[in-house]
Amino acid sequence: KAGVTQTPRYLIKTRGQQVTLSCSPISGHRSVSWYQQTPGQGLQFLFEYFSETQRNKGNFPGRFSGRQFSNSRSEMNVSTLELGDSALYLCASHRGQRGGSPDTQYFGPGTRLTVL
Amino acid sequence: AQRVTQPEKLLSVFKGAPVELKCNYSYSGSPELFWYVQYSRQRLQLLLRHISRESIKGFTADLNKGETSFHLKKPFAQEEDSAMYYCALGPSSGSARQLTFGSGTQLTVLP
């Protein structure tokens, strides 16, 4: 089956603008997690959505938000962009089963955001 | 607070030599440990997880709760093993599903 897709793959914005990134999970997966990857901080968890509800949230400011649609596709939004938001944003799709051991997360190729 | 430490940013070994990538963690509870790999120009993918106790591409990892370690090992490295390796930690139960990643180790296998 098709893997996780993310659009766009590359994005250039200027400070103060806002941006929306999209993630389409693997068919049948109900959970989407978002991560930020930077050379300095590595991979950091942003948030997780399951059945259109945010289930977990990392330690990021409120400028970072997300949502999930009924078809499990997810978007994340960053408002009032700062230079430090330049990063690779990865989404990961998983089945989202409740309880038990965590199921495997399958990662997308990422969206490379550059803030000028 | 949960934390994953990979002390080596870069690691080079010769083809056929044993390789060990170190991972230590801190977590108050029972964790689930993973190794993810990212080959050049490819997406991050799961290599193995401790609960499955599998050997993938010749790699194994043993969870040592006493030393809070989950080192990745392979007895004979191959050039195609050159990649970025990330150790990750998640809760073993409950609804939380976020992974905490280490900073990664870039492995280069020399011919």
C-alpha span between A46 and A76 (Å, rounded): 10
- A46, A56 in Cβ contact below 8 A? no
Q: Which residues of chain A have pLDDT under 70?
A: 1, 97-102
Asked whether the beta carbons of residue B93 and residue A99 sit closer than 8 angstroms, the reply is: yes
For B8-53, write each residue's pLDDT tens digit. 999 999 999 999 999 999 988 778 899 999 999 899 999 998 877 7
The average pLDDT across B45-66 equals 85
In the prediction, which pLDDT does B1 show?
74
> What is the pairing mode between strands A5-7 and A106-107?
unpaired
In the prediction, which pLDDT does A55 show?
87
C-alpha span between A47 and A54 (Å, rounded): 7
* B11, B15, B18, B24: CA torsion to nearest 10: 30
In the prediction, which pLDDT does A95 show?
82
Asked whether the beta carbons of residue B97 and residue A48 sit closer than 8 angstroms, the reply is: yes
Distances (CA, A) of B98 to B50, B79, B80: 17, 32, 29
A66 CB near a chain B CB, below 8 Å?
Answer: no
CA B40 centroid distance within chain = 17
Provide the 8-state DSSP code for B59.
B
CA A95 centroid distance within chain = 16
> What is the pairing mode between strands B105-110 and B10-14?
parallel
For B72-89, write each residue's pLDDT tens digit. 999 999 999 999 999 999
A31 CB near a chain B CB, below 8 Å?
Answer: yes
Asked whether the beta carbons of residue A90 and residue B44 sit closer than 8 angstroms, the reply is: yes
Question: Helix or strand or coil: residue A109?
Answer: coil
A101 CB near a chain B CB, below 8 Å?
Answer: yes
Residue in A45, A50, A102 nearest the CB of B32: A102
Query: How many CB atoms sit inside 10 A of residue B18's CB?
Result: 10
Per-residue b or e along A41-50, where b marks 16 or more CB atoms closer than 10 Å to that residue's CB = ebbbbbbbbb
Asked whether the beta carbons of residue A56 and residue B100 sit closer than 8 angstroms, the reply is: no
For residue B95, pLDDT beyond 80 = no
Of B61, B82, B38, nearest in space to A42 by CA:
B38
Asked whether the beta carbons of residue B43 and residue A101 sit closer than 8 angstroms, the reply is: no
Distances (CA, A) of A24 to A46, A112, B103: 17, 16, 26
